[in-house]
Amino acid sequence: MSAGSRAAALFETTFAGAPEGLWSAPGRLNLIGEHTDYNDGFALPFAIPQRTAVAADPRSDGRLVVVSAERPGLVDTASAGLAPGTVTDWSAYPLGVLWALRQASGEEVLGGGLSLAIASDVPPGAGLSSSAALESATALAINDLAGLRLNRHQLAAAGRLAENRMVGAPTGILDQLASLLSRPDAALLLDCRDGETTPVDLGLAAAGLAVLVVDSGVQHRLSDGGYAQRRAQCEAAAEVLGVRSLRDATLAGLEAARERLGDVLYRRARHVITENARVLSTVPLVGQGELRELGPLITASHVSLRDDFEVSVPELDAIVEAALGAGALGARLVGGGFGGSALTLVPRERTDDVAAAVARTFAARGAAAPTPVEVHPSAAARREA
């Protein structure tokens, strides 16, 4: 059953009635451009076929009642006074969106309350942004239910604010923009400074290529310290370099400040500078149909994330190595790192070889082999019913 049917069914059993509507939003895969978003930089994500659905209905008893097929129990809290700190479990994601939309509109949006039932095909903590899928579907639902008429950039901003302030994860805007603005068969070039999005037609299938995602099985949590520490290090490096953000730094400036930065900040900044350059080199290659040439850039991204940004884990390095050894054109960790998934760009005729090589690597480590999932660039968030 699709996430949409499951959310609708969960709504009916929980609330004994039909919802006013059903909305869904996809997870995303970031082809290249990692840890660049909060540095005002560039990224190139696309929406994946896996989606999170929310069935929703306004209430009149002043309660916010939220259930998820992926979580036990039911969250029931007061609509009045919703603010950071009032919800601390997973419901901080959807209820944080309601709070953020109240902030954005200056109105007591859905003050009478809200019933929300959630179901998802996006694996959480796998680097595929189940969090943005949940936020974006919820934002679209509230936008429609409350007649807010906010645009998709504003809804993305609400998702980010929810995640930053209600959940306490200092993430950038990449995931929400990808979930809300992607197009089928295209990636989305994001300029995270001004939020500008430009669709870039990919034509992966026509080029005989597949993108496979391999879950390392290592769970990451963005509210844990590593991600926040990297952000702080990037801010510190920008300050030493005298730039507004690392987006504005150059390799020449970096070399000139090497001693003042010290080894760690130097390498953190080098990752961001080179990663932005890799994203910008990717776009013309895609435009010229030279998709195979993306492979080395993708692998260089992994090496930089591993050595300079230090957000990889041995399981992800092993997947990358196995995939490259079996004929992948490129491979890298995706998402924030510290676990989650790797992506591999593979000639279609080599996908079985790559899957087998990854399976052998896991077997050698005594771990159950993940099944690589092929993802196609898919549609953005939408109302389903």
Judged by the rule CB under 5 A, the positions of this chain that interact with Mg ion are 129, 131
**Binding marks (x or -) toward ligand ADP, 227..256, rule CB under 6 A?**
------------------------------
- List the interface residues with ligand ADP, window 69-108 (CB under 6 A): 70-71, 90, 93
Q: Which does 42 bind (CB under 5 to 8 A by kind): ligand ADP, Mg ion, none?
A: none
Report in angstroms how near the CB of residue 221 gets to Mg ion at its nearest. 9
Q: Which does 38 bind (CB under 5 to 8 A by kind): Mg ion, ligand ADP, none?
A: none
Q: Which of 57, 175, 215, 308 is catalytic?
A: 175
**Residue with Cβ nearer Mg ion (130 or 378):** 130
Measuring CA to CA, which residue among 45, 33, 37, 35 is closest to residue 268? 35
The Cα-based distances of 337 to 107, 162, 193 in angstroms read: 37, 21, 22
In this structure, what DSSP letter does residue 140 have?
A: H
**Residue with Cβ nearer ligand ADP (10 or 328):** 10
Q: Which does 124 bind (CB under 5 to 8 A by kind): ligand ADP, Mg ion, none?
A: ligand ADP
Among 4, 26, 125, 337, binds ligand ADP (CB under 6 A): 125
Q: Which does 176 bind (CB under 5 to 8 A by kind): Mg ion, ligand ADP, none?
A: none
In this structure, what DSSP letter does residue 88 have?
A: -
Interatomic CA distance for residues 133 and 381, integer angstroms:
8
**Residue with Cβ nearer ligand ADP (160 or 267):** 160
Dihedral sign computed on CA atoms, order 270, 271, 273, 275: positive
φ/ψ of residue 67, rounded to 5:
-130, 150
**Residue with Cβ nearer Mg ion (132 or 300):** 132
The Cα-based distances of 354 to 56, 120, 215, 303, 335 in angstroms read: 41, 27, 14, 19, 21
Residue 134 sits in the site that holds ligand ADP (CB under 6 A): yes
The alpha carbons of the chain give a radius of gyration, in whole angstroms, of: 21
- Relative to beta strand 113-120, strand 45-58 is antiparallel
Residue 131 sits in the site that holds ligand ADP (CB under 6 A): yes
**Residue with Cβ nearer Mg ion (50 or 129):** 129
Among 222, 269, 297, 343, binds ligand ADP (CB under 6 A): 222
Placement of tokens 């961001």 in the chain:
272
Q: Which does 335 bind (CB under 5 to 8 A by kind): Mg ion, ligand ADP, none?
A: ligand ADP
Residue 361 sits in the site that holds ligand ADP (CB under 6 A): no
Residue 159 sits in the site that holds ligand ADP (CB under 6 A): no
Residue 341 sits in the site that holds ligand ADP (CB under 6 A): no
Report in angstroms how near the CB of residue 24 gets to Mg ion at its nearest. 17
φ/ψ of residue 120, rounded to 5:
-145, 145
**Binding marks (x or -) toward ligand ADP, 317..336, rule CB under 6 A?**
------------------x-
Q: Which residues pair with 16 in a beta bridge?
A: none
Report in angstroms how near the CB of residue 245 gets to Mg ion at its nearest. 21
Burial label for 65, CB within 10 Å (0-12, 13-18, 19+), is buried
Measuring CA to CA, which residue among 138, 211, 147, 150 is closest to residue 179? 138
Q: Which does 159 bind (CB under 5 to 8 A by kind): Mg ion, ligand ADP, none?
A: none
Rounded to a whole number of angstroms, the distance between the first and last alpha carbons of the chain is 16
Residue 360 sits in the site that holds ligand ADP (CB under 6 A): no
Residue 120 sits in the site that holds ligand ADP (CB under 6 A): yes
Which two three-digit tokens encode residue 39? 């540095």
**Residue with Cβ nearer ligand ADP (222 or 357):** 222
Answer yes or no: 175 catalytic: yes
Placement of tokens 């999170």 in the chain:
52
Interatomic CA distance for residues 128 and 47, integer angstroms:
9
Interatomic CA distance for residues 248 and 269, integer angstroms:
11
Cβ pair 36, 42 in contact under 8 A: yes
Cβ pair 281, 297 in contact under 8 A: yes
Q: Which does 276 bind (CB under 5 to 8 A by kind): ligand ADP, Mg ion, none?
A: none
**Residue with Cβ nearer ligand ADP (70 or 249):** 70
- In DSSP notation, 23-50 reads EEEEEEEESS--S-GGGT-EE-EEEEEE
Please report, as ranges, the residues that interact with ligand ADP according to CB under 6 A: 52, 68, 70-71, 90, 93, 118, 120, 124-131, 134, 221-222, 335
Active site residues: 175
